[in-house]
Structure 1
Amino acid sequence: MLSNARKYIPPCQSRFCHQPIKEIANTEYETVLSSVQQCLKRNEMSITDQRAKQSFADLERIMHDLYCKRLPRKLYRRARREYKQVKRLQKILHRRSDMMICRIDKGEGFYIGDKSIMQHKTLEYMNKTEAYQELTSDYCPLTDILHATTSVLDYLIKKKVITTAQRDKLLPNLEKLELPYLYPLPKIHKLGIPIRPIVSALYAPVNLISKFLYKLLSPIYLQVAHETTVINSIDWVRKLEKYTADGYLKSTTNFITADVENLYTMIPREGGLHALLRFLEKYSNHSKIGPFSIDMIMKMARLILDTNYFAYINKYYKQTRGGAMGSAFTQVYANIYMLQWEQKLIESQASKN
């Protein structure tokens, strides 16, 4: 089961649940029904005509039949066996506090191993990159981050670029508010199994602003970088075909690949912000993107970068360089930083041809 990873679903596990099977079937039906209805609405199709009603009734009947009918003996034995395997594994992991189970990086599998090894590799990564600073006091910075977030949003309201309702949508849910925390993803496809440190900021004060800034800047970046960016394998083949058709592919042509090690933690703060500023100055419309001035966007960017605090093993840390892996804004921020480097490289190559 573990080798098949997350894509594998143990069959018929609801048969061993303490909840009545009909209740499970009803819950699943309501979930599927909601998704289907939303899809129909998005495509401007009726959910109230006779055909739709009949389809929903058929769906309910099929789901109840699937859940409630008696399982074949062979399938039942398999489901029972895998149910016991899962429970046995859960008991082992519960008893072994020194063990951990987590997803792997860039894959569908799981890693089960010694927790202390992953902790050692995480701290080793922090020391190697020198991008993290341990806070010497026990004071949690969560309140200060929330205050800074509120101040920036109030500033945007004062400038009349967002409404109070929009500000409320960008504020975090105070009932779920928490400081981000770091967890490692093992890179089992690499020698020595290094780690990728992910900062989970789902309920962090700046999370929604980070997503907002990502959505604001990403379309512009994708448009600018379209000619020099390969989206997927099909796009690569098409670009290669055009490159060949234009007469550039020769017997002396070399294809070179390069990888920036630890990109998200290697971006210098001022260098990254300068690249973002130049990007905004070059591709904004009259120094604005939508209703937002360059200064407003830079304020939001600085807020996200300045509040990169997180918890790890009962200690507080601040990321002093780059952006947090797991932050939506960091993705477009890193892309913009690398775009500037790529453009300089392209200009340099063009001047030599």
Structure 2
Amino acid sequence: MSITDERAKEAFPALKCVLYDTYSKELPKNLRIRAQCEWKIVQTIQCLLRHRSDIAIRRTDKSKVFYIGKVDDFTRNAEEYMLKIQAYEKLTSGRCPLIDCFNAVQALLDFLVMKNALTQNQRNQLSLKLGNSELGHYHDLSKAHKPGTPLGPIIASMYAPATLLSKFLNDLLAPIFLKVARDTTYINGIDVVRKLETYVANGYVKSTTQFVTADVIDLYIMIPRQGALEALARFCIQHA
């Protein structure tokens, strides 16, 4: 939300007053009793988790709650998911392929410099030191808002060898994409609200208007990598 927005100028002072009143006023007796009871519940859960190694508490995906479950269930669900999609590999040989990934990225950067696609300074900025690199790895968050509490796959790759190169490409391509598709692209929740307000103001919302949402399962493997690269190449040729 822009600080130059008139509604933002009105909303922030109002929010500040609400927060100040909330933290400065004494709690009513019924709320104080409830808070004390809930604190005791939290302490009980903490004590239980300390003494039960077979139980784990996990963050959940897209919600502000925690999910408590059996460690064996988490392990089994993760293995079933990995077996189902065949997109990840469990390292069992004891050899970490990090050095192979690192060398592949270094070779690519050297090739781009040789072809004058990158300057030497850019190459240095896009190259992590091997000692600061780590292999991208899979973990999951429980989707407590969905039936059966499925797993939401997360790839932790903040320090992977190709991460800086990926960010560099995103910085180059995102402005081009937004220039072409800005009218049909939502950046955040506020942007959705603004677009919807414009849609209503233009008289497009009728009594028969329907809002449809879609949820893609296993997005990582649903889009063929080669097909995505070819589509990106065509897009760049047409709009870059």
- Common fold by TM > 0.5: yes
Question: 2:198, 2:221 → 1: CA distance?
Answer: 31
Seq. identity, % = 43
Q: Deviations over 1:223-249 (max 9, x none)?
A: 2221222443322323422552xxx55
Amino acid at match of 1:121: N
Residues 54 and 70, structure 2, Cα contact 8 Å, conserved in 1 = yes
Question: 2:235, 2:139 → 1: CA distance?
Answer: 32
Question: 2:63, 2:210 → 1: CA distance?
Answer: 30
2:57: which partner in 1? 101
Amino acid at match of 1:240: Y
Question: 1:136, 1:230 → 2: CA distance?
Answer: 42
RMSD: 3.2
1:217: which partner in 2? 173
Residues 98 and 134, structure 2, Cα contact 8 Å, conserved in 1 = yes
1:191: which partner in 2? 147
1:156 matched to 2:112: yes
Counterpart of 1:266 (choices 222, 234, 239) is 222
1:277: which partner in 2? 233
Question: 2:50, 2:119 → 1: CA distance?
Answer: 48
Residues 186 and 195, structure 1, Cα contact 8 Å, conserved in 2 = yes
Instruction: Label 1:261 to 1:155 Cα distance change in 2 as closer, same or farther (>3 A).
Output: same
Matches within 5 A, 1:326-345: none
Residues 153 and 167, structure 1, Cα contact 8 Å, conserved in 2 = yes
Instruction: Label 1:166 to 1:227 Cα distance change in 2 as closer, same or farther (>3 A).
Output: same
1:118 matched to 2:74: yes
Instruction: Label 1:278 to 1:249 Cα distance change in 2 as closer, same or farther (>3 A).
Output: same
Q: Identify unmatched segments of 5+ residues in structure 2.
A: 1-34
2:199: which partner in 1? 240
Question: 1:180, 1:93 → 2: CA distance?
Answer: 29
| Alpha-carbon distance, 1:277 to partner | 1.3
Secondary structure in 1 matching 2:130: coil
Secondary structure in 1 matching 2:196: helix
Residues 118 and 184, structure 1, Cα contact 8 Å, conserved in 2 = no
Q: Deviations over 1:220-278 (max 9, x none)?
A: 2222221222443322323422552xxx5555554433222222221112221111111
Instruction: Label 1:204 to 1:95 Cα distance change in 2 as closer, same or farther (>3 A).
Output: farther
Aligned residues: 202
Amino acid at match of 2:167: K
Question: 2:91, 2:57 → 1: CA distance?
Answer: 28
1:166 matched to 2:125: no
Counterpart of 1:229 (choices 185, 190, 212) is 185
Question: 1:208, 1:253 → 2: CA distance?
Answer: 43
Residues 173 and 203, structure 1, Cα contact 8 Å, conserved in 2 = no
1:182 matched to 2:138: yes
Question: 2:215, 2:198 → 1: CA distance?
Answer: 20
| Alpha-carbon distance, 1:95 to partner | 4.4
Instruction: Label 1:213 to 1:93 Cα distance change in 2 as closer, same or farther (>3 A).
Output: farther
1:202: which partner in 2? 158
Q: Deviations over 1:67-108 (max 9, x none)?
A: xxxxxxxxxxx9xxx7xx66982x654543322222210122
Counterpart of 1:139 (choices 86, 90, 95) is 95
Question: 1:88, 1:238 → 2: CA distance?
Answer: 45
Q: Deviations over 1:134-181 (max 9, x none)?
A: 567543211110000101111222233433333222122333322122
Question: 2:194, 2:239 → 1: CA distance?
Answer: 24
Question: 2:81, 2:72 → 1: CA distance?
Answer: 14
| Alpha-carbon distance, 1:184 to partner | 0.9
Q: Identify unmatched segments of 5+ residues in structure 1.
A: 1-77, 285-353
